[in-house]
Amino acid sequence: MKIAIVCYPTFGGSGVVATELGLELARRGHEIHFITYSQPVRLALLNPNIHYHEVHVPEYPLFHYQPYELALSSKLVDMVKLYGIELLHVHYAIPHAYAGYMAKKMLKEQGIKIPMVTTLHGTDITLVGNHPFYKPAVSFSINHSDIVTSVSQDLKDDTYRLFDIKREIEVIPNFIEIDKNRIDTTSECHRSLMATETQKIVTHISNFRKVKRIPDVIKIFNEIQKKMPAKLMMVGDGPEKAPAEALCEELGISDKVIFFGNSHEISKILCFSDLFLLPSETESFGLAALEAMASGVPVISSNTGGLPEVNKEGVSGYLGNVGDVDYMAEKAIEILSDDAKLFEFKSNALKVSQEFDVQQIVPMYEKVYRKALKMH
Ligand code: GMT
């Protein structure tokens, strides 16, 4: 199949999922066209089945806001015609599903019928898309997609609850390439560079937005380090990073916390991590938690959104109520202070992550594509 993938090319989970999906589809012989405003961060390898088309938005001083949706829909029309693309797969409703719909309409006028699959990722539904300014456009785009998928059952339920949706939504969970994620622990995992033999390594990875509850991450770690030698790895960047550094100073733990910024070496950081913290306010899925689990790292998370579908209570980690720092700290200390228990949770985390193996999940998308093509 010749498939156009539209996504955000940044470090966010939706862009990562879309890119990894495109890479796997290309390995399976499909011709993939990424259409976005810059090269997706995880798209390092270009090969004959992978194309990247940049959406350029010319700056025009008259426009207070430059019209990205217009540029994107025009680019979609041009690329579909030039490469004979058969299907659009848009990730994130705003503005991608909206622009995709416009492209479909323009192509139809020219006698070309093309189906559109929309994948909902979370913030497009629960945070941004739910804003009254966007709600009508988001409902419209979802209702006018040929097939809609959501990354968890919880996000599907939220979408029906928050929007006036008159159609079926299929759940296709996010996935992980287990082997790629695992680092050879003997040669490539440089734990000694980060901590001493006795220190436990706790990690958090995110885009440092309010929704991630970064102060809770620091407070949980603060309790851990009172009970045992420990280090905290904070990976990622965003508006909550500077306040987080200030909080570490205030608590007197700055020497135990490393702020990495955005990293392309997530698996190298996860390979020496003992525990992953994700106490988010809401999380449609929690791809970062799954990436940690696939590296054999147990997860302490909140029990919100789709997280219980990924992190299994008492098996791959523990889940507490949003903001319940004491419970999450207690469970973190329980796992970290008993080596046998930590070993068990680490191997359980890896086992649970295998349920989300790329080889099981990507065929679900292929099935959806075949169904969408049959509709036209
Ligand atoms: O919250 C983020 O980290 C970014 C956000 C995004 O829109 O890319 O992630 C959302 O999509 C990811 C991939 O499907 C999910 O794993 C995240 O849970 C989801 N974030 C939220 O729901 C807050």
CA-CA-CA-CA torsion sign (197, 199, 204, 208): negative
Q: What letters, b where the CB count within 10 A reaches 16 and e where it falls short, cover 17-35?
A: bbbbbbbbbbeeebbbbbb
121 lines ligand 1 (CB under 6 A): yes
Domain ranges in the chain are 2-175+357-374, 178-356
pLDDT tens for each residue of 221-273? 999 999 999 999 999 999 999 999 999 999 999 999 999 998 888 888 999 99
Ligand 1 pocket: which of 92, 214, 284 to mutate (most atoms within 8 A of CB): 284
Q: Check pocket membership of 302 for ligand 1, CB cut-off 6 A.
A: no
Q: How far apart are CA 128 and CA 115, in angstroms?
A: 25
**Lowest mean pLDDT across 44-53, 116-125, 340-349:** 44-53
What is the model's pLDDT at position 186?
A: 58
Most informative mutation of 283, 290, 303, 304 for ligand 1 (most atoms within 8 A of CB)? 283
Rounded distance between C-alpha atoms, residue 143 and residue 126, angstroms: 17
Confidence of residue 60 (pLDDT cuts 50, 70, 90): confident
pLDDT of the residue at 182: 64
- State if residue 94 touches ligand 1 by the CB under 6 angstroms criterion: no
- Of all protein residues, whose CA lies closest to atom 23 belonging to ligand 1? 283
Q: What is the pLDDT of residues 125-165, one digit of tens each?
A: 887 777 888 899 999 999 999 999 999 999 999 999 999 99
Max avg pLDDT among 53-62, 63-72, 86-95: 86-95
Mean of pLDDT values over 10-31: 92
Q: What angle do CA 34, 167, 2 make, to 5 degrees?
A: 25
User: Quick one: average pLDDT of 290-303?
Assistant: 97
What's the rounded Cα separation, in Å, for the pair 57 and 102? 17
* pLDDT higher at 42 or 341: 341
Residue 208: C-alpha distances to residues 85, 238, 368 (Å): 36, 4, 33
Residue 166 has pLDDT above 70, yes or no: yes
- Non-local (6+) Cβ contacts of 94 within 8 A are 124, 128, 129, 134, 137, 138, 141
11 lines ligand 1 (CB under 6 A): no
Question: Tokens representing 5?
Answer: 């993938």
Taking the centre of ligand 1 as the mean of its atom positions, its distance from the CA of residue 283, in whole angstroms, is 6
Q: Which atom of ligand 1 is closest in space to residue 14's alpha carbon?
A: 8
Distance from the alpha carbon of residue 193 to the mean position of ligand 1, in angstroms: 30
The response to whether residue 123 sits with its C-beta less than 6 Å from ligand 1 reads: yes
Contact 298 CB / ligand 1 (< 6 Å): no
Tokens describing residue 32: 């993939």
Q: Report d(CA 285, CA 318) in Å as an integer.
A: 15
pLDDT of residue 256: 97
DSSP secondary structure string for all residues of 281-303: S--SS-HHHHHHHHTT--EEEE-
Cα–Cα–Cα angle for 13, 16, 17, rounded to 5 degrees = 85
CA distance 155 to 93: 13
280 CA closest ligand 1 atom index: 23
Give distance in angstroms: CA of 339 to centre of ligand 1: 32
Give 197 Cα–ligand 1 centroid separation in angstroms: 34
Does the Cβ of 122 fall within 6 Å of ligand 1? yes
- Whether the CB-CB separation of 7 and 120 falls below 8 Å is answered with no
pLDDT value at 11 more than 80: no
Q: Is 348 in the pocket of ligand 1 (CB under 6 A)?
A: no
CATH 3.40.50.2000 fits 2-175+357-374, yes or no: yes
Express each pLDDT in 332-375 by its tens digit. 999 999 999 999 999 999 999 999 999 999 999 999 999 999 98
| Range from 32-41, 84-93, 293-302 carrying the lowest mean pLDDT | 32-41
CA of 270 to the centre of ligand 1 (A): 19
2-175+357-374 shares its CATH topology with 178-356: yes
Q: Give the homologous superfamily in CATH for domain 178-356.
A: Glycogen Phosphorylase B; (3.40.50.2000)
Give the number of other CB atoms < 10 A from CB of residue 103: 28
Ligand 1 pocket check for 282: Cβ under 6 Å: yes
- pLDDT at position 190 is 79
Give the count of beta carbons closer than 10 Å to the beta carbon of residue 62. 4
Instruction: Determine which of 177-191, 193-207, 251-265 has the lowest per-residue pLDDT on average.
Output: 177-191
Angle in degrees, CA 171, 294, 18, rounded to 5: 45
Name the band, by pLDDT with cuts 50, 70 and 90, for residue 46.
Answer: low
The fraction of the chain above a pLDDT of 70, given in percent, is 97
Q: What is the pLDDT of residue 45?
A: 63
What's the chain's average pLDDT?
A: 93
| pLDDT band for position 285 (cuts 50, 70, 90) | very high
Task: Measure the CA–CA gap between 280 and 77, rounded to whole angstroms.
Answer: 38
